[in-house]
Each structure stands twice: as structure tokens, then as C-alpha cells.
Chain A
Amino acid sequence: MGKGGNSEDVVADKEEVGEENMAAWLLGIKTLKIQPFILPPLGPNDVKVRIKAVGICGSDVHHFKTMRCANFIVKKPMVIGHECAGIIEEVGSEVKNVVVGDRVALEPGISCNRCSLCRNGQYNLCREMKFFGSPPTNGSLANQLPDNVSLEEGAMCEPLSVGIHACRRAQVGPETNVLIMGSGPIGLVTMLAARAFGAPRIVLVDVDDQRLAIAKELGADHVVRVSTNIQDLDEEVAIIQTAMVSAVDVSFDCVGFNKTMSTALNATRAGGKVCLVGLAQSEMTVPLTPAAAREVDIVGIFRYRNTWPLCLEFLRSGKIDVKPLITHRFSFSQKDIDEAFETSARGGNAIKVMFNL
């Protein structure tokens, strides 16, 4: 179940079929090493997947740089990565939904399915969640790819799921004008999702011109360049509201700073919603009361739930095209892994960095 282990723990336990299974292990700060990765035995409901495409997420970079991400701390060597797709190589005895040779996208998190949150369908909030690349779980839930959806697009289902889940929680539809704070990978997948959910007008905001240009190419109705200076708040809110023409119904803060959240709260109309997607700061200083007194609700999101089928359908039908987000590609070698993480950490014109295995 995604556990497996370091080959130093077990004596001479190699796979029967030829090559050893290798993985990218996070051994310490900025120390990634391709080393053997022993797979656990195949349970009756498990599949063995040959991974073909893996994207790098901001949280992977955060683990890489600091050995922690929010309250997740990496205490032992851990295989990195969770945005992935591959080809089924073996299926467990009870598996009925996929066969060997199937191309699949993987949903990373294994929830307990016993607690009240799981039983209520809110499994993304399960406290016993075992999630790829979140300590202590090494990098499930295999969803079959339609023929016209590539393995790279399959790997993109994971970040896209964040945007989809956010749009659901904020109830985006044909009558919701959407404002998105932050034009990074998450802001962009949120924009693609919002459009697919029918949002009539989408405005994106960022400090970086390059990223705003990408947003415009991907279909933003309007982009606004903003600063990191809190003094500019009121002026920027006015510019945003002018750009939207009509009222801002839903705002997504895909960054998560005081300024972006304050802008979102002030720019959103009475009775609207602000969805906090970006998890940057813990304590935030925001104008909460005036927003609450206009019944602007704040909706939080954590990862996603039940999103893969919808993501795959959007990709299959072409309603969403994630391919432009994949800006850099690397192969699975020690040198490429180090370069890939540096590229992703750099940001700028690097949106999604993808490994092809």
C-alpha cells in the first residue's frame, strides 16, 4: 500500500523480474538520491504500477528544501513525489476495475474508510490518511486513462484536482464571476477548472508579468499586476473590480498571504465566497469583520475528494487542456532529478516540471 522500504532494511530482497525498483529518496535537506525502493507485497486489492510520468509539486520542493511542510516533518528517508500516472504491470486477486497494460492516473491518498469523516465522504480530511510523499508514507487509487489522454496529462490530474475541489466547494457555475489571486500552477489549474465549471468571467492577479502572460494565453478574461505592498490594497481592489466589470462572486486565494487574502475579502461582493487554497502563512492578519458583516464566507480546502473521474472526463472531452502547463521535462537520472528540483524551486517561467520515466 505505498509503504515499501529502503533496501538497507531488508537483506537481499530483490524483485524477481529483472531490474531493481529505483526511486528518488529524500535523505536530508536538498539531498535527493536515486536508490533502490523495495515494494511491499501485492495485496488482493492492489495493483503494481510502472510509473511513467511524475510532476513536481510545491510541497515536494518544500520538503526538499526544509524537510518539512506545514506540520508534516520528514524524520526518515522518504520517497518523494505524488503527482503521477503509469501502466499497470500486475493486479491483485480481487481487482476488477483494471487489467495489466491499462494506463492509469493515481490518486495519492489512502484514507482509513472507518472514521466518521470518511464515512461522511469527507475522506480528504481523514486523520489516518496515508499520502504519497507526505511523511511517513512513501509516494492507490488507480484511475484508468481514456485513450486520448496521455500519461503526462494523467499525472496532471493531481494538481488539477485541487482546482476542481476548490471550484466545487466554492460552488462555481455559469453565474459566478471568479477572481484568482496568484497565477502559479495552482492559480492556473483553478482557472482552468473554473472555466470548465462555466464561470463567465475570470480575472487573475499576480506580481509576475510572465505568469500573467501565461494566464492570458490560457484564457483569463483579464489580468492585473499587483504589488507585495499592503498600502496598495484599496487601489488594487478598485482596479480588480473594474476589470471584472460585474461583481466578484467568488475569489480564490491561491497564494495565502495577508495581502492576497485581504484583497480577496475586500474585492468580493456581499454574499459571495472567498476560497483559501494557498497555504502560505499560519497566522494571518485580515479584515475579517467587514467581510463577515457583508456575509462574505470563507471556504477552506484541503487537497481534494472524488475528483479523478471528473478530471479525466474534462481531459478526455477537451474541456480542459493542461498540456500548456507542462513547461519543463526531465528524465529519471540522478543529474536530471537535481536539475528538475532546482528548476521547479526557481518558479518564474517554470510552471509544471514533469519527469518522464
Chain B
Amino acid sequence: MGKGGMSQGGDEKGEGEENMAAWLLGVNNLKIQPFILPPLGPYDVRVGMKAVGICGSDVHYLKVKLRCAHFIVKEPMVIGHECAGIIEEVGIEVKSLVPGDRVALEPGISCWRCQLCKEGRYNLCPDMKFFATPPVHGSLANQVVHPADLCFKLPDNVSLEEGAMCEPLSVGVHACRRANIGPESNVLIMGAGPIGLVTLLAARAFGAPRIVIVDVDDYRLSVAKDLGADGIVKVSTNTQDVAEEVVQIHKAMGDRVDVTFDCAGFDKTMSTALSATSAGGKVCLVGMGHNEMMVPLTPAAAREVDVVGVFRYKNTWPLCIELLRSGKIDVKPLITHRFGFSQQEVEEAFETSARGGTAIKVMFNL
């Protein structure tokens, strides 16, 4: 179940090559090493990984004291969770998949026993086992073992890279569902990074008529414009500028701001979001910047602007795959850099991703 382990002494798989993975051994210390797979359970499948994307959280674990929010890496851990591959073996009870099938993987295995799981809000399960969230190993590896029900078959016209993109795209899709995006929702997005951009694509697919996106970085704003944003606004990191930026945002929108997605998660972006959103609207906090935030909560609450939280996603893969199949969403422009699966390339890939700027989604091809 994504557990597996490190091979200590000459413990190789039966069929030829050893399974290798990218292990996080310490701060700025990634090493490709053997990764022993757990036994295949009756409802599991073994997947040969083909495409794995790098997420901001992966970079955070690598760079920032092996932690991300309250998750702390205490032992070596395989990194990576945005992935797709080809089925190599299926457990005896698996009926929906056969070897050779191309699949995208949903990373998180929930318990299905707690109240939240039973209500369908399994993304909030306190016992969630999630690729590359300690202590669960990730999927930047030659192979992983995973429950079959979390592997979603890709249509012929959807590539493995697009399959791997389903994971970040799912964040945008889940956010749009929680914020009730539809043909009457004018959308504002704070931040034109990978998450802001998948939220832009998802919002458009959900029918949002007008989308304005803001960022501090001109290049990222130009990418947003190419991806179809109706308006872009360059903003600063200076809190004093909030009031003026809200004016510019309203001008760019030309209409009400019904829903704002804060895909950055700082005091300033949240304050701007709360101030810019129209009475009765929603602000969806997607980005996880700081823990404690200082924001003008009361004036927003007194205009019945609600704050909606988002944590990962639930039941999004089928929709993502359909949106990609039909062409309603095209994620391919977000993949800006590609690397192979070697020690040197793994290190370079993470540096590239950490740099930000022109690097949106960095993808491994295995």
C-alpha cells in the first residue's frame, strides 16, 4: 500500500532489475536507491511509473528542514506523488484493470471507517496514507504498489504526462466545486503559479464567465493570459497597496467578484481577496502560506463573504480525465521542463522546480 522499504543488503526482486526510487535522505539530499515493494494484496495493482511531476510540497520537504506544515520527515522517505504509469500486475480480486492499462494514480489511501470517510469527505481522514507525506513513501520510483480503486484508466488520447497532471488539476477542480463555480461566477485568482493556473483552467471548465488573475511576476501573468485569463493585474508584496490593487482588480473584472481563490496564502493575498470579493461571495483559501494570518476578517464577514477551506481533493480523477479527454482542459502548456530518472537529473529537476519563475510544472519521464 505504498509502504515498501529501503533494501538493506542485496534483496532484489525476482524479475531482473531492482526497483529504484528517489529517496529523501536529508535537507537537500535526494538519492536514487533501491526501493523494496510490499507484497501485492488482492485489491492492489503493481504500476510501472512513467510520468511523475514535482509539487511545491515535494520541494518544501527537500529544502525546508524536512517538513511541510505539521508533517515531519523522520526517516528516509521516497518523494513524489503526482504520477501515472502502466499496470504490470493485478491482485487476484482486481476486475477493473489488466496489465498494460495506462492509469493515473490518486495518491491518498483513506481508512473508510471514520465518520468523515463514511460521509464521503475522505480527503479529511485523520488516518490518510498519502504518497510522500511522512511516513508514507511516494511514487518517484520505477514501480509502486497501490490499491486498484485509486488507479484510473486513461483514454487513448490522454498521455501519461497528462495523467500525472490530474493530481494538481484535482486541487483546482476540488476548489471550484467547494466554491460552487458556475456560469454566473466571476472569478478572481491570487497567484499565477501552478496551482493558480490549474484553478484558472478548472474555473473556465466549470463555466466561469470572467476570470482575473493577479501575481507579482510578469512572466507568470503572461502564461496566465495565454491560458485564457480575461484580465491580469500585476501586484506588489506591499500591504499598503491593498486598497489600490482592489480598485484595479475591480476595473479588470468590470463586474462583481463572486469568488476569489487565494492560491498563494499570505496575509496580503488573503486581505486583498477578502476586500475585493463582493457581498455574499466566497473566498477560497487554497494556498498554504503562513499559519497565523492577519486579515480584515470582520468587514468581510459583515458583508457575508464566506471563507471556504480546501484540502487536497476528493472524487476528482474521473472528472479530470473526462475534461482532458474532451479537450475542455489542456494542461500540456503547464509542463515546462522535463527530466529523466537519473541521480544528476533528479537533483537538477528539483533545483529547477524550486527556482520558480519560468518553471511551472517539472515532469519526470521514466
A contact residues vs B (CB 8 Å cutoff): 70, 116-117, 120, 122, 124-125, 127, 169, 256, 261, 270-271, 276, 279-302
The 9 A-B residue pairs whose C-beta atoms are closest, nearest first, are: A300-B301, A292-B309, A298-B307, A292-B285, A276-B301, A270-B124, A285-B294, A125-B279, A288-B293
**B308–chain A nearest beta-carbon distance, Å:** 5
Query: Within 8 Å of chain A (Cβ to Cβ): is B311?
Result: yes
List of A residues within 8 angstroms of B306 by Cβ? 297-300
A261 touches B121 (CB 8 A): no
Cα(A294)–Cα(B126), bound, Å: 10
Our pick among B178, B290, B311 for the contact of A294 (Cβ within 8 Å) is: B311
Q: Counting chain B CB atoms within 10 Å of each CB, which of A282, A287, A291 scores highest?
A: A282
Q: Encode contact with A along B268-290: 1 for CB under 8 Å, 0 otherwise.
A: 00100000000110000100111
B304 touches A288 (CB 8 A): no
Cα(A299)–Cα(B283), bound, Å: 10
List of A residues within 8 angstroms of B246 by Cβ? none
A298 touches B279 (CB 8 A): no
Known contacts A70-B302, A271-B124: A295-B295 contact under CB 8 Å: no
**B30–chain A nearest beta-carbon distance, Å:** 26
List of B residues within 8 angstroms of A284 by Cβ? 294-298
Q: Encode contact with A along B260-272: 1 for CB under 8 Å, 0 otherwise.
A: 0000010000100
Q: Encode contact with A along B230-267: 1 for CB under 8 Å, 0 otherwise.
A: 00000000000000000000000000100000000100
B293 touches A302 (CB 8 A): no
B309 touches A285 (CB 8 A): no
Q: Counting chain B CB atoms within 10 Å of each CB, which of A169, A291, A292 scores highest?
A: A292
Chain B stretch 117-134: residues in CB contact (< 8 A) with chain A: 119, 121, 123-124, 126
Query: Within 8 Å of chain A (Cβ to Cβ): is B64?
Result: no
Cα(A291)–Cα(B291), bound, Å: 9
List of A residues within 8 angstroms of B69 by Cβ? 290, 293
**B66–chain A nearest beta-carbon distance, Å:** 19
Known contacts A282-B299, A289-B290: A122-B307 contact under CB 8 Å: no
Closest to A126 in B: B279
List of A residues within 8 angstroms of B70 by Cβ? 290
**B265–chain A nearest beta-carbon distance, Å:** 6
Closest to B305 in A: A300
> Chain B, interface size: which category?
35 or more
**B36–chain A nearest beta-carbon distance, Å:** 32
List of A residues within 8 angstroms of B300 by Cβ? 300
Question: What are 22 A-B interface contacts by the 8 Å CB criterion?
Answer: A117-B279, A125-B304, A282-B296, A284-B296, A285-B292, A287-B293, A288-B292, A288-B295, A288-B307, A289-B285, A289-B291, A290-B69, A291-B309, A292-B308, A293-B311, A294-B311, A295-B178, A295-B309, A295-B310, A298-B301, A298-B307, A300-B301
Query: Within 8 Å of chain A (Cβ to Cβ): is B32?
Result: no
**B133–chain A nearest beta-carbon distance, Å:** 12
Cα(A151)–Cα(B178), bound, Å: 43
Query: Within 8 Å of chain A (Cβ to Cβ): is B328?
Result: no
Query: Within 8 Å of chain A (Cβ to Cβ): is B65?
Result: no
Query: Within 8 Å of chain A (Cβ to Cβ): is B303?
Result: yes
A270 touches B280 (CB 8 A): no
Our pick among A117, A120, A288 for the contact of B270 (Cβ within 8 Å) is: A288
Cα(A70)–Cα(B311), bound, Å: 34
Cα(A117)–Cα(B303), bound, Å: 11
List of B residues within 8 angstroms of A169 by Cβ? 304
Closest to A274 in B: B307
List of B residues within 8 angstroms of A301 by Cβ? 301-302, 304
Known contacts A283-B296, A285-B292, A291-B309: A300-B304 contact under CB 8 Å: yes
Closest to B301 in A: A300
A296 touches B301 (CB 8 A): no
Cα(A300)–Cα(B295), bound, Å: 14
List of B residues within 8 angstroms of A283 by Cβ? 294-298
Known contacts A276-B297, A276-B298, A290-B291: A125-B124 contact under CB 8 Å: no
List of A residues within 8 angstroms of B265 by Cβ? 289
Cα(A261)–Cα(B297), bound, Å: 10
**B10–chain A nearest beta-carbon distance, Å:** 42
List of B residues within 8 angstroms of A299 by Cβ? 301, 304, 306
**B303–chain A nearest beta-carbon distance, Å:** 6
**A292–chain B nearest beta-carbon distance, Å:** 3
List of A residues within 8 angstroms of B354 by Cβ? none
Known contacts A283-B294, A295-B310: A122-B304 contact under CB 8 Å: yes
Closest to B256 in A: A116
List of A residues within 8 angstroms of B279 by Cβ? 117, 122, 125, 127
List of B residues within 8 angstroms of A117 by Cβ? 279-280
**A79–chain B nearest beta-carbon distance, Å:** 23
A297 touches B308 (CB 8 A): yes
Our pick among A120, A270, A300 for the contact of B116 (Cβ within 8 Å) is: A270
Q: Counting chain A CB atoms within 10 Å of each CB, which of B69, B119, B296, B308 scores highest?
A: B308
Cα(A213)–Cα(B290), bound, Å: 39
B302 touches A302 (CB 8 A): yes
Known contacts A122-B279, A276-B297, A276-B298: A287-B309 contact under CB 8 Å: no
List of B residues within 8 angstroms of A288 by Cβ? 270, 285, 292-293, 295, 307
Known contacts A125-B280, A284-B298: A293-B288 contact under CB 8 Å: yes
Closest to A303 in B: B302
A286 touches B301 (CB 8 A): no
Closest to A298 in B: B307
Cα(A117)–Cα(B8), bound, Å: 66
Not counting A270-B116, A285-B294, A292-B288, a sample of 18 additional A-B residue pairs whose C-beta atoms are within 8 angstroms of each other reads A122-B280, A261-B297, A271-B124, A276-B297, A284-B294, A284-B295, A286-B297, A288-B285, A289-B291, A295-B124, A295-B309, A298-B301, A298-B307, A299-B301, A300-B302, A300-B303, A300-B306, A302-B301
Our pick among A279, A295, A298 for the contact of B311 (Cβ within 8 Å) is: A295
B307 touches A297 (CB 8 A): yes
Q: Counting chain A CB atoms within 10 Å of each CB, which of B116, B302, B303, B305 scores highest?
A: B302
